[in-house]
Amino acid sequence: MSLKDHLLAQIALNGPLSVAEYMAECLMHPEFGYYATRDPLGAQGDFVTAPEVSQMFGELIGLSLAQIWMDQGKPERFVLAELGPGRGTLMADILRATRTVPGFHAAAHIVLLEASPTLRGIQAQTLGGFDPKWVDSVSDLPNAPLFLVANEFFDALPIRQFLRDGDGWRERLIGTKDEALAFGLGPHGPQVALLDRLEDTKDGDLVELCAAAIPILTVIAGRIATHGGAALIVDYGDWHSLGDTFQAVRAHDQVDPLATPGQADLTAHVDFEPLALAARAAGCAHTRLTPQGVFLERLGITARAQALAAQLGGSELESLIAAHRRLTHPEEMGNLFKTLGLYPSYSAPPPGLEP
């Protein structure tokens, strides 16, 4: 049986799936799920993330976290956490960049939130020397100052899609047509969660909701507000997003999200506005949403690239220059990707970000 057969049978039995239910099955089904069964990252895989593009990304984030830790009086014990650490590359770069910061490693208790057993195995190899602990939920994060990073995690959380129809909405659903998966629309109805979106949308507009992100943000923000620390959330998306951003990527190409369930990465752009509102509601301050290119430039990526370039030549130098451009240039990742920082309202915002 394939995941497609499983989904067709499920739809025949229970009716169409929401996009969120479809995403959750495709990404995390224990037997056939995309993340549950493979390492999707890197040139040989399906997509490349910022930490996999260059060590500079994680190094700058690591130094930024160490700066915040020092600014907050160097708490003796803190949680250094990552959501969806992939291969563990970002955390490894954070730890390498901070190894000369006196006391930082000794105070850090590394905690990783990862749903995929395959990727947990790879993270264990990358980070084994640092004795990381894995958790299934952010509520399992220890009660302590929390320094957290999440790169390309929130885009993988399931979203629901709603199409505006007069004064109500119709949910975009996944059913079947001629033995294949096909998009359709649910019945017309009001949506309490979208009442405020009646003001800024018109007939035919599509709005996405990521319900799963809110409890995660609430816990993280609550820990930071109560115990101190900071969070850096980096992802593609925008503030108050509008339109269909549900997409599938396989072998570095966009593909039909319904064509090969479980074989392609499924994501949606992150709407940072509800994340920021959830943080605020939990008593935590947040920064302005800042393009990744601007954020990395402010942290000194160009100086870091120049220092690395001084030791390189030939193709290594060329790939360093390409990596710098890829991470920062507005036509590459620089503008599509954004950073949101969370921090205690009594302290300064993270370096490179503004209140």
Binding site for ligand SAH (CB under 6 A): 35, 41, 49, 51-52, 84-86, 89-90, 113-116, 119, 151-153, 156-157
Task: Tell me how far, at minimum, the Cβ of 195 lies from ligand SAH, in Å.
Answer: 27
Q: With the C-alpha atoms ordered 267, 271, 276, 281, is the resulting torsion angle positive or negative?
A: negative
Looking at residue 282, its amino acid is A
- Which residue's CB is nearer to ligand SAH, number 64 or number 89? 89
The strand pair at 247-250 and 265-267 is best described as antiparallel
Nearest Cα neighbor of 19 from 208, 270, 263 is 208
Q: Among all residues, whose Cβ is closest to ligand SAH? A: 84
- Which residue's CB is nearer to ligand SAH, number 157 or number 233? 157
Task: Tell me how far, at minimum, the Cβ of 16 lies from ligand SAH, in Å.
Answer: 22
Contact 249, 46 (CB under 8 A): yes
- Which residue's CB is nearer to ligand SAH, number 110 or number 113? 113
Task: Tell me how far, at minimum, the Cβ of 227 lies from ligand SAH, in Å.
Answer: 22
- Which residue's CB is nearer to ligand SAH, number 46 or number 164? 46
Looking at residue 209, its amino acid is L
Specify the 3-state DSSP secondary structure of 274. helix
* Cα separations in angstroms, 139 against 30, 147, 333, 345: 22, 15, 31, 22
The tokens for 246 are 């549900």
Task: Tell me how far, at minimum, the Cβ of 82 lies from ligand SAH, in Å.
Answer: 7
Task: Tell me how far, at minimum, the Cβ of 54 lies from ligand SAH, in Å.
Answer: 12
Task: Tell me how far, at minimum, the Cβ of 135 lies from ligand SAH, in Å.
Answer: 9
The tokens for 14 are 């229970």
Task: Tell me how far, at minimum, the Cβ of 202 lies from ligand SAH, in Å.
Answer: 33
- Which residue's CB is nearer to ligand SAH, number 115 or number 198? 115
Task: Characterize 43-82 residue by residue with b for buried, 16 or more Cβ atoms within 10 angstroms of its Cβ, and e for exposed.
Answer: eebbbebbbbbbbbbbbbbbbbbbbbbeebeebeebbbbb
Q: First-to-last CA distance in the chain?
A: 52
Contact 17, 174 (CB under 8 A): yes
- Which residue's CB is nearer to ligand SAH, number 249 or number 309? 249
- Which residue's CB is nearer to ligand SAH, number 90 or number 258? 90
The CB density around residue 249, as the number of other CB atoms within 10 Å, is 16
